[in-house]
Chains A and B, each alone.
Chain A
Amino acid sequence: MLLLVGPAAAVLVLFQIVPILIGMNASFRSWALYDPTKTWVGLKHYIYVLSDPVFMTVVLPNTFLLMFLSVAISLVFGLALAHLLNRDFLGQRIVQTIVLLPLMVAPVIVSTMIRWMFNDQFGIVAVVWEGLGFEPMAWLAERWPSFSIILFTDVWIWTPWFTIILLAGLKSLPREPYEAAAIDAAGRWRVFTHITLPMLRPVMLVCIVIRSIDAFRTFDQVWVISAGGPARGTEVFSVYAYIEAFQNLNFGRGSAAAVVGGVIIMVVGLLMYRVLNRLMEVSR
């Protein structure tokens, strides 16, 4: 039994648990990258982070909003696309391949490309926008337009992930309930809400929990598209921790922010799993 997890546990301890312990240790110390004296300062960094108005009123709301909207929108689109791809039509394979494109393009590439497309002078979106007669607009210089672009990118990247897992789920559903519904002449929408959704629920639960935890720590897209700007308006918590550690060179404070974020998402993830699981049991 121990033998089965041995190799996995060894790698996990050395390359994840040990670094995390080093990071937690750092969060209690005055550990600046340019000044490795590492004096013990207790909870100073935690107090700083938790009383920082930027962290509490901008970073956390942004993080939760991005997580909620990204997961919700990609789930809806993913479900719709999975349905679309679950039927046979001419060119289904080609459509499926194109829908899966975002899965294979590195997030860094996509984000750079999106930033290029939304460039306010040379980007294709600006060209089309002005061609349609609208006022030129510097999207990335304002908070909510930048946030929307980041959200769009995140949805673009992750919708195929939902699609592929839900499509696998749809393909494995038993056929009998559908045949029964066809005999009872049930409408398409009723079949969807009364048969497909309840049967897909376990798969959707796993998808939502896994994806929410990941969405909470989104970094690449935000960092490449806006770097948390303008004026820290789109900063999410990973970016906050990164900026504290690597740009302000305060590794202690960055680690403290990362620990705070880690604790929040752990609690949220666990609650979500419990609540969704309960809902599933009740509906059974």
Chain B
Amino acid sequence: MTAATTTHGGSRTPGFFDALAPGGARALFFLSVTAVLFLFAFPVFWLVLTSLKPGWEVFYVHRSTEFTWGNYVDVLQEEIVLNAFINSFVIATAATILSLAVTVSSGYMLSRFRGPIANTWFGTIYLFRCIPYISWVLPLYFVTQWLGIFDSYLGLLLPHIAVHICFFSWIMKGFFDGIDPSMEHAALIDGCTRWGAFRRVALPSAIPGIAALAILCWLWTWNEFLFALILTSHNTPMITVVMAQFVHELGTEWNLMSATAVMTMGPALIITIFGQKYVIKGLRI
């Protein structure tokens, strides 16, 4: 849509953009970009603005003039918020590493092997991918109680891995499908073991995809709400739940909630800014 691309190609049929005045296409492009930016950024901008307002002004943010860091100071003085940040970080990181570790081999198996076991496994992950969360979250509470891991790191970590298994196996299968198996066959002929062919040949080629998945997995676990709500209590508070708890019977403390929300977005923001290149390169399914 830029001016440079509208002028080339001489004799093609006149299109919509040729009807615009010179510079019109550029202006239209600029306008659409601005509209997109506005739509995507506004709710986040509003959140940041609300977080900088003193409590009595949140009901008329649009015409208030005062700004304060007080909300952030207030929130950070609460021990539970700091603990929740640490817990969320540990769970998100551990869940990412472990989910990738168990699904990389399962995706490889789905891509390279045929036969009843592979078919059964693919059927299973397809089936369980479709089951709505709501039907296993409450029984999951009973299971973690029964195993004695309720409200501990392990009790949240293992269900989080379980959530990712179906989707990640499916995507990983896609990554390995895109890698030509003839290299592995060559490695096998040269005396490499099956495991060696996987580890030395297939795995390095799949790294960009795995990196992309790692970034998304970390973000999803960090942002997850329903599991954190049901499977934890006061021992392992998670940041999304702590944030939602600023809503109580006296109404919502919008300013404090926004401040926590903005801080929750922080690590995610850093990851997205530095990781988007890898995500876009890697996610070629």
Contact = CB atoms under 8 A, between A and B. Distances in A.
A269 interface: yes
B132 A104 contact: no
A108 B124 CA distance: 30
Given A4-B105, A14-B158, A97-B276, A156 B40 contact: yes
B139 A23 contact: yes
A73 to B, nearest CB: 13
B12 A107 contact: no
B128 A16 contact: yes
A199 interface: no
B27 interface: no
A107 B225 contact: yes
A104 B130 contact: no
B131 interface: yes
A261 B283 CA distance: 30
A105 B281 CA distance: 22
Contacts of A232: none
A106 B223 contact: yes
Contact of B283 (A165, A220, A265): A165
Contacts of A220: 225-226
A171 B277 CA distance: 12
Query: Interface on chain B toward A: helix, strand, loop, or mixed SS?
Result: helix
A76 interface: no
A98 B269 contact: no
A219 B40 contact: no
Which of B109, B118, B129, B130 has the largest number of chain A CB atoms within 10 A?
B130
A180 interface: no
Contacts of A114: 43
Which of A12, A216, A255 has the largest number of chain B CB atoms within 10 A?
A12
B135 interface: yes
B280 A167 contact: yes
Contacts of B17: 188
Given A102-B40, A238-B132, A266-B130, A210 B223 contact: no
Contact of B47 (A99, A113, A217, A255): A113
Contacts of B142: 19, 22
B2 interface: yes
A187 B15 contact: yes
A162 to B, nearest CB: 11
B121 A23 contact: no
B133 A217 contact: yes
A12 B33 contact: no
Question: Number of contact residues on A: which range applies?
Answer: 35 or more
B37 interface: yes
A80 B130 CA distance: 28
Given A100-B276, A104-B268, A188 B15 contact: yes
Contacts of A15: 140, 143, 158-159, 161-162
B204 to A, nearest CB: 18
21 contacts: A4-B106, A4-B109, A8-B106, A8-B165, A9-B106, A23-B136, A81-B36, A87-B1, A97-B272, A104-B265, A105-B268, A106-B261, A107-B223, A169-B284, A169-B285, A187-B15, A210-B167, A241-B134, A251-B138, A265-B132, A266-B130
Interface of B: 1-2, 8-13, 15, 17, 29, 32-33, 36-37, 39-41, 43-44, 46-47, 50, 58-62, 101-103, 105-106, 108-109, 113, 117-118, 121, 124-140, 142-143, 158-159, 161-163, 165-167, 169-170, 174, 216, 219, 222-226, 240, 243-244, 247, 252, 254, 257, 261, 264-265, 268-269, 271-273, 276, 279-285
Given A15-B143, A26-B139, A108-B225, 6 more contacts: A11-B165, A12-B166, A102-B40, A117-B46, A258-B134, A261-B132
Interface of A: 1-5, 7-9, 11-12, 14-20, 22-23, 26, 81, 84, 87, 89, 95-110, 112-114, 116-117, 122, 124, 127, 156, 160, 164-165, 167-169, 171-172, 182, 185-189, 203, 206, 210, 213, 216-217, 219-220, 237-238, 241-242, 245-246, 251, 254-255, 258-259, 261-262, 265-266, 269-270
